[in-house]
Structures are given as structure tokens and as C-alpha cells.
Structure 1
Amino acid sequence: MCNLYSNTIPAEAMRRLFDVSVERNYLGNAEPLPAIFPKQMGPVVRMAEDGRRELLPLSWGFRTTKRSTKTGAIIQPAAWNNARDDKVRSSGLWKGSFEHRRCLVPASSFCEAKGRNPATYYWFALKGDEGRPPFAFAGLWQTSCYQGKEGQEEVATYTVITTTANEIVKPVHPQRMPVILKPDDYEQWVTGNPAEAFELLQPYNADDMQIVRSGKSEKSDPLT
């Protein structure tokens, strides 16, 4: 699963990479994000109601109401930051978004941890001429409505879809990895029908990936 990733792509570069018009870029002068954790804001590319792409910040993790197992009282909402590829067509939490609200999640690397006390953190990126070539996760978005401590709340959220780990990720995280889309597949992901979109939920080619950083204490991906 993916609980930490980075996006150090300049906002203007994201706009061009993901074919978003100037007036549909709602990031402003966004700063590089060397570490994005669940419940934090991250850039997302989605289709607007008029069928055009827009680039905007959303909160990572679909929210649902959560109660204390001891008291039954409402506590901080759960954040579902990953959606399994084998659940997106059947789970009530994911199905509606998979059918109608798919998005691209721009990134430059993602992190997986191995071991405990202390864990070793491995940062994965794509190979290329740049140190961290930009890419996009397959994502879903929704306006999450849930019961908070102060009553009914709602927040615009996104989640990242995971699939079977490939050969470079498997030694660190044996089961899952985020779905990375190829640029030629972006349009099919955001506008294709559910069957066409589901075809894209595959492990990325391990030969085209690399580990760019590992360590026990540094949890953010450096900009250089």
C-alpha cells in the first residue's frame, strides 16, 4: 500500500504534462511537496462537468465516519488512501467513483517501508533523463460526506489505486504497489468506460523503475 509519496513537479509543468488549460489550473503558485501523507492536500487532475481537464488540490483519503470502539463517540474520520484494484468494481466505497470519478494523481516518487523499529524507507521513481521523471497514479475522487465531532462534514478527497507488486517493489512490500499509468493511457483512464479503465490496472514494468533513496530516518524525498 502507499501511505507516502512526493510531488516535486512545478505547477506549470504539471499543467503542460497533463494537458490542462491555463484557466483550469487552480493550484496557483504551488510549492514542491517532498512528502505527502494521508489527509494532506495533493494535486489532482480530473474531468470537470464540461468535459475539460482541471488541476486542483484535494485531500488524500476518502473519509468515512469513525466511532471509538470503547465509548462509541465520534472521533476523527477514517481516511481510505488506497483502493485495491480487485475491489473497485464491487466495493460500495469505491464503485461509484470508479465508474464516474476517475482522476490522475501527479507524482515524482513514492515510498514503501520495510521492517520495524526502525523501518527502512525506500523511495521508488521512474527511470529517465531526469532524476525524478514525473508520472501519474491511477486515482479516484469524491466529495466525502461523514459525521464529524461537530456534526455533518464534507471534504473533496482522492484515493490511489493499488495492484500487485512488481519485481522491484516486491522485496520491500511483497503484496501491493500503486498503479502507475503511462502517458498514452491518461485519456483512457479519465474518459473510458469502466471496462476500458479496468484494463489499465496493472503493475508497472519493473525494468523502467528505480530506487532513488533508502534510509532509516529520512522519510521525505529530497528535491535533488
Structure 2
Amino acid sequence: MCGRYSLFAPPETIEARFDATFDFTFEPRYNAAPSQSLPVVTDADADTIQRMKWGLVPSWADDRSDHGYINARAETLAEKRSFAAAYESRRSSTEQSEAGPDTPTAGRCLVPADGFYEWVSGDGGKQPYRVALPDDALFAMAGLYERWEPPQRQTGLGEFGASDDDGGQDEVIETFTIVTTEPNASVRGLHHRMAVILDPDEEETWLTGDTEAVSDLLDPYDGEMRTYPVSTAVNSPANDDPSIIEEIEV
């Protein structure tokens, strides 16, 4: 699985790598965690790096708190109701530019990162490891996103909007999940799943290709990776600073 990751490259470096522009003020993340709003590039607006909450809530869910899928298995994307609509989305670059960023309710996205974390059980408890490309190079994880809108409330007097005491349950939210696959040789000793990491020349296909084309992209990453142990400080999402990524001795 992928339950934590990092993205701390300078914003201009991220923009250049993905040929897209932030629509918010980006701050480095050394310990990105579920439920946080994090950068993604969607098939609806590939020129923009926007924020969505990590933990996909299907558009058909009655209650946004009932779901929050941080990962989606590559092998069953087309079969699972929670992911099929987003996975089967296909939008050409022309469709993207004409529709604009606010049109789709589900689709595919890129999740920029420069590393992710896995935990290995041992006699002393679970030891976290960071997994990254050489020189902490940026990469894209395959993702899916959905927009969830609250069900309309009907009364004898008509429809009413959100109330102020429902804990935010009437807010429209946009959420994403990270697609996982079998581990490669670098990750196999740490976990039985890993995020789908796309080669740069596969990223446009993931955003715009049909399901037959993108199904070939969902294999383990075959490039060079490095893994190393890090402090258990990463266990808490409250810890988010450069010390998180420093290698330790175990």
C-alpha cells in the first residue's frame, strides 16, 4: 500500500517537471498523510496543479464519512464500484481545454511525489523505510479522483442548502486515491504492494488513454530505486519537517 509520501522539491521544479502551474501556494511536504489536501494533476486540467483531499469518497456515497479510500488495487479498478467511473474516464487534450476544470466528477490524475514510506515489522516494532528514486527525482503515482456532492435535502417547503452544524457534511469535496500494484524488487522486502509509478512518457496516456491503453501501465516500476530506514517520527502526521527523510542506523 501507500499510506505516506513526500513532496518537498521547490515549486518551480515541480511545475517544470509536470509542465503545469500551481493554483495554490505550495509548501513542502515531508510526511504527506491521508485526509490532507495534496497536489494532483487531473485529466480535466493537465495544465494546473490543484489540491484534493487524499482518501477517495465515491460520488454515490450517501455520507462522505462512510468512505475514504487511500489506495485502489490496480487489478480490480474496472470491477470495483468505488473506482470504475474514475478509471474508465477518457478525456483527450481537446476535451480538457474545452470542458475546463470544473466539469468532470471523476477521472484519472497524477500524484506528484519524490518518495514514499513503508513499514517493516521486527522484534522492536515497526521500522519505517523511505523509498525514492536516485537523487530524490520527482515522479508521478497513478491516481483516481472523484467529486462528492451532498444529497439534496427535501422538505415540505422545498430544498435547502447546507447547515452550519453538520460537521461539514454538506460541503462539496474533491478527493483522490493512489493506485497500487505488485511490488518490485526494491519494495518486495518492505511490503506486498507498492504505488503505481508512471514513467514520464506514460503520464499523458494515464490521463487521456482508454482503459485498454492504461491497463498496460499498471505494472511494478522497473527503474532504479533506493530504500533506507528513517525515524519513527514519520509515524505521526504532525511531524512534517526535513528531519523526517534523514537516514538512520538500525
Give the TM-score normalised by the residue count of structure 1. Answer: 0.82
Q: Give the Å deviation of 1:121.
A: 0.2
Cα separation, 1, equivalents of 2:11 and 2:69 = 26
Work out the percentage of aligned pairs sharing the same amino acid.
30
Provide the residue aligned with 1:71 in structure 2: none
The CA RMSD over aligned residues, in Å, is: 2.6
Q: Give the Å deviation of 1:151.
A: 4.6
Q: Which has the higher strand share?
A: 1
User: In 2 relative to 1, CA 118–104 (structure 1 residues): closer, same or farther, beyond 3 Å?
Assistant: same
Q: Give the Å deviation of 1:153.
A: 4.1
Aligned with 1:27 (options 1, 24, 28):
24
1:47-62 → structure 2 map (5 Å cutoff): 47-48=43-44, 52-62=46-56
Contact 2:148 2:174 in 1 (8 A): yes
Aligned with 1:140 (options 139, 144, 152):
144
Aligned with 2:127 (options 120, 128, 135):
120
Unmatched 5+ stretches in structure 2: 90-106, 152-165, 235-239
Aligned with 2:68 (options 58, 79, 86):
79
After superposing the two structures, state which structure 1 stretch, 113-122 or 177-186, moved more: 113-122
Q: Which has the higher helix share?
A: 2
Q: What is the number of residues matched between the two proteins? A: 206
Cα separation, 2, equivalents of 1:98 and 1:91 = 10
Cα separation, 2, equivalents of 1:151 and 1:80 = 17
Contact 2:120 2:126 in 1 (8 A): yes
Pair member with larger Rg: 2
Deviations 1:62-98 (A, max 9, x none): 126999xxxxxx8944310000001111111000001
Aligned with 2:110 (options 100, 104, 107):
104
Provide the residue aligned with 2:196 in structure 1: 179
Aligned with 2:226 (options 210, 213, 223):
210
Unmatched 5+ stretches in structure 1: 68-73
Give the TM-score normalised by the residue count of structure 2. Answer: 0.74
1:160-199 → structure 2 map (5 Å cutoff): 160-173=178-191, 175-199=192-216
Cα separation, 1, equivalents of 2:179 and 2:64 = 26
Cα separation, 2, equivalents of 1:204 and 1:83 = 17
| Code of the aligned partner of 1:155 | I
| Code of the aligned partner of 1:4 | R
